[in-house]
């Protein structure tokens, strides 16, 4: 049965990376995880990866059977064509890390490094949306899905690539352009034959919740995500170690991790935040709730995900911890010498230099998706507040050299829940306490 194409809409989304992007190639020639490049050596994100991220986001809010009509199935072609994401003005970076145990000691053979595209690179995403005769009645609904996807990219709720739950792959949207063709009009079909992407037109800055294409936007208030934003200042110094030092600074053994187009912005990776928050939450649970350790670990795993040690029950992190940029900080070179604890004298050959970051302010952003789970929303918020209050009071230090006073923070303003100042925090703290107590009763039942 004939089902001709009635309409085509071409959409181009332009913007910049708000955090590093990791699109793995599966190769390990330069690092343990090299980025995917095209034949000209430029980084690229496959259209299949983008389509998967888009479909996953929409599944949180809309019935999958309806989404299949647009994204296709194993026997039906997708009507939303997602082209490869291209990047320009990009700079490769190498991030190294190591897995730490509960005592902040490096785990044997758990050192790794990976290659990524640094924040600030410009990107282009291109979409082709096809409407056929048999799907015309779904056109308005599908347009709302596309608006939701573009809004998600602009607001940061849709992230691209690997390690997206630890701060990688966040984008900003600078503008959106589109071109619409009505193939029921023969003249427009002839224009389509000679059309190219450079002739889009209809470009404008995208305003989430308001901007639209050729189809009016319908009211849509459902949010697939919740967030906590914590403004912080660094009390003294910060050291998130990076052993990859510039050639001009080879006299330094390690320095504060930095990012940005000029490589001068101190950053706190999402993995560093997540590790510190996870360990602190588990410590608090074990200190104040008399129940078996495994039950408490299961609660933490439900929020932060499981480690590779639990291969029989792997679970992705529900919590998304964004990478934080530290602003208005200064560099401080430090030279120290190890001291012999018995003689009080210096140890031969133990002189070393480092470069730490002094002062500045930043924000800790925690996001999680509103999906059905064993952890209710109020309980999640309450448990995170326990750890956040310790962080604000200087009881939880983040990063390296915390034994000598680095990595201590203090509050720099009100905590925000979903963009608004947090009200009645006791409600969430109480909900978290009740949830843990109920789990404790189940363990002893």
Angle at the Cα of 20 from the Cα atoms of 15 and 22, rounded to 5 degrees:
105
- Note the pLDDT tens digit of each residue in 357-373: 999 999 999 999 876 66
Please check whether residue 385 is in contact with residue 424, taking contact to mean a CB–CB distance below 8 angstroms.
no
pLDDT at 185: 92
Query: Residue 367's Cα: distance from chain center in Å?
Result: 9
Please check whether residue 169 is in contact with residue 21, taking contact to mean a CB–CB distance below 8 angstroms.
yes
* Residues with Cβ within 8 Å of residue 399, at least 6 apart in sequence: 238, 239, 240, 241, 268, 272, 406, 407
* Residues with Cβ within 8 Å of residue 53, at least 6 apart in sequence: 158, 159, 160
Q: Tokens 């194993």 label which residue?
A: 74
pLDDT at 179: 93
Q: Tokens 């679970």 label which residue?
A: 315
Q: How confident is the model at residue 204 (pLDDT cuts 50, 70, 90)?
A: confident
| Mean pLDDT, residues 172-200 taken together | 91
> Does 311 score more than 70 pLDDT?
no
> Does 47 score more than 90 pLDDT?
yes
- Note the pLDDT tens digit of each residue in 109-146: 777 888 999 999 999 999 999 999 888 888 999 999 99
> Which range, of 123-132, 343-352, 370-379, 401-410, averages the lowest pLDDT?
370-379
> Does 316 score more than 90 pLDDT?
no
Q: How confident is the model at residue 435 (pLDDT cuts 50, 70, 90)?
A: very high
Q: How confident is the model at residue 253 (pLDDT cuts 50, 70, 90)?
A: confident
pLDDT at 220: 59
> Does 210 score more than 90 pLDDT?
no
- What Cα–Cα distance (Å) separates residue 270 from each residue in 20, 73, 164, 295? 11, 35, 9, 26
Alpha helices of 93-164 — where are they, by DSSP H? 139-155
pLDDT at 289: 87
> Does 445 score more than 70 pLDDT?
no
Instruction: Calculate what percentage of the chain has a pLDDT beyond 70.
Output: 93
pLDDT at 121: 94
Residue 392 and residue 363: Cα distance in Å, rounded? Answer: 12
> Does 221 score more than 60 pLDDT?
no
> Does 166 score more than 60 pLDDT?
yes
Tell me the domain boundaries of the chain: 5-199, 225-444
Q: How confident is the model at residue 347 (pLDDT cuts 50, 70, 90)?
A: confident
Angle at the Cα of 244 from the Cα atoms of 161 and 234, rounded to 5 degrees:
80
SS3 (DSSP) at 355: strand
List the structure tokens of 153.
């990219």
List the structure tokens of 370.
């509103």
Residue 160 and residue 87: Cα distance in Å, rounded? Answer: 13
Please check whether residue 226 is in contact with residue 417, taking contact to mean a CB–CB distance below 8 angstroms.
yes
* Residues with Cβ within 8 Å of residue 267, at least 6 apart in sequence: 240, 257, 258, 259, 323, 324, 325, 326
CATH 2.40.128 fits 5-199, yes or no: no
| Mean pLDDT, residues 256-266 taken together | 81
Residue 318 and residue 328: Cα distance in Å, rounded? Answer: 32
pLDDT at 2: 75
| Mean pLDDT, residues 56-69 taken together | 91
Looking at per-residue pLDDT, the higher value among 304 and 33 belongs to 304
| Mean pLDDT, residues 97-119 taken together | 80
pLDDT at 159: 93
> Does 67 score more than 70 pLDDT?
yes
List the structure tokens of 64.
């999958």
The count of other CB atoms within 10 Å of the CB of residue 348 is 9
Residue 11 and residue 294: Cα distance in Å, rounded? Answer: 49
Pairing mode of beta strands 258-259, 241-242: unpaired
Residue 179 and residue 176: Cα distance in Å, rounded? Answer: 11
> Does 150 score more than 90 pLDDT?
yes
Looking at per-residue pLDDT, the higher value among 212 and 82 belongs to 82
> Does 409 score more than 70 pLDDT?
yes
pLDDT at 106: 76
What's the whole-number average pLDDT of the chain?
Answer: 88
């Amino acid at each position: 049965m004939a089902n001709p194409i009635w309409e085509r809409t071409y959409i181009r989304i332009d913007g910049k990376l708000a955090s590093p992007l990791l699109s793995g190639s599966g190769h390990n020639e330069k690092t343990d995880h090299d980025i995917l490049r095209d034949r000209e050596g430029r980084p690229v994100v496959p259209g299949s990866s983008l389509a998967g991220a888009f479909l996953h986001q929409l599944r949180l809010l809309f019935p999958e059977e309806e989404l299949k009509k647009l994204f296709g199935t194993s026997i039906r072609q997708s009507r939303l064509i997602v082209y490869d994401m291209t990047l320009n003005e990009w700079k490769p970076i190498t991030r190294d890390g190591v897995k730490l145990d509960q005592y902040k000691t490096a785990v044997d053979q758990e050192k790794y490094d990976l290659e990524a595209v640094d924040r600030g690179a410009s990107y282009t995403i291109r979409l082709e949306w096809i409407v056929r005769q048999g799907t015309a009645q779904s056109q308005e609904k599908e347009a709302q899905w596309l608006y939701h996807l573009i809004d998600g990219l602009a607001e940061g709720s849709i992230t691209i690539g690997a390690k997206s739950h630890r701060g990688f792959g966040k984008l900003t949207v600078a503008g959106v352009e589109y071109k619409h063709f009505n193939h029921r009009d023969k003249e427009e079909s002839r224009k389509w034959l000679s059309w190219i992407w450079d002739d889009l037109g209809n470009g404008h800055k995208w305003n989430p919740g308001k901007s639209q294409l050729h189809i009016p936007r319908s009211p849509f208030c459902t949010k697939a995500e919740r967030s906590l934003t914590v403004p912080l200042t660094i009390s003294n110094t910060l050291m998130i170690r990076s052993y990859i030092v510039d050639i001009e600074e080879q006299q330094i053994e390690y320095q504060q991790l930095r990012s940005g187009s000029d490589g001068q912005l101190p950053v706190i990776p999402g993995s560093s935040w997540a590790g510190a928050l996870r360990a602190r939450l588990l410590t608090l649970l074990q200190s104040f709730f008399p129940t078996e350790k495994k039950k408490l670990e299961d609660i933490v795993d439900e929020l932060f995900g499981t480690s590779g040690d639990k291969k029989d029950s792997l679970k992705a992190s529900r919590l998304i911890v964004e990478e934080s940029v530290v602003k208005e900080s200064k560099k401080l070179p430090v030279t120290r010498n190890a001291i012999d604890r018995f003689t009080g004298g210096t140890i031969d050959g133990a002189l070393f230099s480092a470069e730490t970051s002094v002062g500045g302010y930043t924000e800790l952003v925690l996001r999680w998706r509103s999906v059905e789970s064993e952890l209710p929303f109020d309980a999640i918020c309450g448990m995170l507040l326990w750890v956040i209050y310790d962080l604000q009071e200087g009881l939880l230090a983040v990063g390296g050299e915390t034994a000598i006073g680095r990595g201590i923070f203090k509050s720099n303003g009100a905590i925000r829940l979903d963009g608004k100042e947090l009200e009645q925090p006791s409600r969430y703290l109480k909900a978290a306490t009740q949830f843990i107590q109920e789990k404790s009763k189940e363990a002893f039942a």
